[in-house]
Amino acid sequence: MLKTRHAHDHACEHGHPPVDVLKVAEARCAEKKLKLTPIRREVLSHLAASPAPVGAYDLIERMHRESGRRPAPISVYRVLDFLLEAGLAHRIESRNAFVACAHRHESRDLVVFMICDSCGCVSEASGAPVEKDLAAIAKAAGFRPATQVVEMFGRCAHCGTPAEA
């Protein structure tokens, strides 16, 4: 079971400083002629500041604590959909939660998520080396994937190997 610490004692690979994520977001939105509205910026900042994936209702609570206003769930879900489509965030399927993305890849590119069972951090790596293998497996089975998500669970470099009992 995933134990998520609220305060990490180490930096997570995915935990980009919000300023870096916002710079990437601004550049990407300018390239694609998309608007980075204040609420989109606010949600992305909260995702970037979190070392672990964040669910939509957790985002709403964080936004409420910070600003005193509680956005409607539909507004937050629309923002998350925008961020996913723009390639500025990822959905961690197994957690039904989201992480910010400051990497320069397309939203349709295969990404491998490495999720630490101890601290909850998520690291991201390109799935390009395994994408052809997965396509071949699907083709051999006569299967046409609509989406591909690869999530691995274990321990991050900081948390290391669990102690022997």
Copy the structure tokens of residue 123. Answer: 């690291």
Backbone angles phi, psi at 157, to 5 degrees: -60, -35
Binding site annotation covers 119?
yes
Binding site annotation covers 121?
no
Chain centroid to CA 148: 15
Binding site annotation covers 116?
yes
Binding site annotation covers 131?
yes
**3-class secondary structure for 132-157?**
HHHHHHHHHCCCCCCCCCEEEEECCC
Backbone angles phi, psi at 74, to 5 degrees: -60, -35
Helix (H, G, I), strand (E, B) or coil at 10: coil
Strands (DSSP E) found in the chain = 89-92, 97-100, 111-116, 122-126, 150-154
| Bind-site residues for Zn(2+) | 116, 119, 156, 159
| Bind-site residues for Fe cation | 131
| Bind-site residues | 116, 119, 131, 156, 159
